[in-house]
Amino acid sequence: MDATRDRQHPTLVPEVGEDEALDAYSRVVTTVAERVAPSVASLRLRPRRDGRPGGAGSAVVLTPDGYLLTSAHVVATADRGAALFTDGRETSFEVVGRDNLSDLAVVRVDAGHLPAARLGDAERLKVGQLVVAIGNALGFAGSVTAGVVSALGRSLPTRDGAVSRFVENVIQTDAALNPGNSGGALVDARGCLVGVNTAVAGIGLGLAVPVDATTLTIIAALIADGRYRRAYLGIAGGARPLPPRARDELGAEAGVEVVQVVPGSPAAVAGVRVEDIVVAVDDEPVGDVAHLQHVLAGDRIGRPVTLRVIRDGRLMQLSATPAELTGG
């Protein structure tokens, strides 16, 4: 009787293999973790001269011959340290270059044949998209957390001495980040690096510097020259919609309204005034501060540029010679 009942009413949860039990979400996360974790190192900095610990963080392998990407604040207190990989290898590293205003740094380890991470493009991310964070959370190397892109286009304030700046288009995620995650990888469902984890802004709120065209330019400069050069005009401002007449004439929706001009700066010498709206630099449109910062690349330092500005409703041109932005 019992045997008959068992045949008529088979168990509701049949036994399945471990692979079959994994749902689609889990399969993505486990696959990404297996693929990317070997490319993420735990960084340990040498103790400070005053005897205090040197700190720790994470880094992502950029090239097989030993270049790794991390956060500038991770290596702010030391130029050397040790890198530990998930396969048990430990090797020394030295800082090749850092850029505090983007919170990015490049280090090089004394090792070769490393598994480089595949680079993605943060500009293709969408809110709600699955992302995976891998790093050295609280000193536990190879820690993996998953979540979604909570928001895009955030701004992260950074400082280099007396100079402050905003990193634009920062990625906000709810993937759990903890101290030690900084410099680690934020990857998409394909295992491509889309961000460098940089800050914990609150419970369930982490921030990552995007990996995009601007970031890759900075990384290339750090590897080649040890620093990234920026042109400096000496204005502060924000995006402002253009008047209808200017929109029609320029074919643009917005510009950068000047709210402050630094005395003695290139902008001040050029005659830029508060309430001017900068709409282009050398005929390259600038619709917001991020565009303006992108246009002011290092190759414009010391070279006269033409600023197109709207003043009192009229379009005019000013000549300015950007200086190099330096900390201190």
In 120-233 the beta strands, taken as DSSP E runs, fall at 130-137, 140-160, 163-173, 185-187, 192-202, 205-210, 231-232
pLDDT score at 5: 45
Q: Please say whether the beta carbons of 181 and 198 come within 8 A.
A: no
How large is the average pLDDT for residues 164-193?
89
Pairwise pLDDT comparison (199 vs 189), residue with the higher score: 189
Residue 103 annotated to the active site: yes
Residue 102 annotated to the active site: no
Q: Cα dist. 204→90, 146, 147, 149 in Å? A: 32, 11, 9, 11
In 77-121 the beta strands, taken as DSSP E runs, fall at 80-84, 90-99, 104-109, 118-119
Most confidently modeled of 119-128, 132-141, 178-187, 193-202? Answer: 119-128
pLDDT score at 54: 64
pLDDT score at 173: 95
Pairwise pLDDT comparison (24 vs 39), residue with the higher score: 39
Most confidently modeled of 14-18, 52-56, 166-170? Answer: 166-170
DSSP strand pairing (40-45 vs 56-61): antiparallel
DSSP strand pairing (40-45 vs 163-173): unpaired
* Annotated catalytic residue within 143, 182, 188, 212: 182
Contacts of 301 (CB under 8 A, 6+ apart): 229, 231, 322, 323, 324
4 falls in which pLDDT band (50, 70, 90)?
very low
- What's the whole-model pTM score? 0.81
Residue 294 annotated to the active site: no
Token digits of residue 255: 């510009």
pLDDT score at 326: 79
* Annotated catalytic residue within 42, 102, 103, 160: 103
7 falls in which pLDDT band (50, 70, 90)?
very low
The lowest-confidence range among 123-127, 197-201, 277-281 is: 197-201
278 falls in which pLDDT band (50, 70, 90)?
very high
Token digits of residue 94: 């030295």
Q: Cα dist. 32→28, 37, 141, 146, 328 in Å? A: 6, 8, 16, 10, 41
Token digits of residue 234: 């000496």
pLDDT score at 24: 84
pLDDT score at 321: 96
Bridge partner list, 278: 256, 309
pLDDT score at 162: 66
Q: What is the mean pLDDT of the chain?
A: 87
Please name which of 193, 173, 216 lies closest in space to residue 58, comparing C-alpha atoms.
193
- DSSP conformation letters of 132-156: EEEEEETTEEEEEEEEEEEEEEEEE
50-106, pLDDT tens digit by residue?
Answer: 666 667 899 999 999 999 999 999 999 889 999 999 988 999 999 999 999 899 999
How large is the average pLDDT for residues 157-166?
73
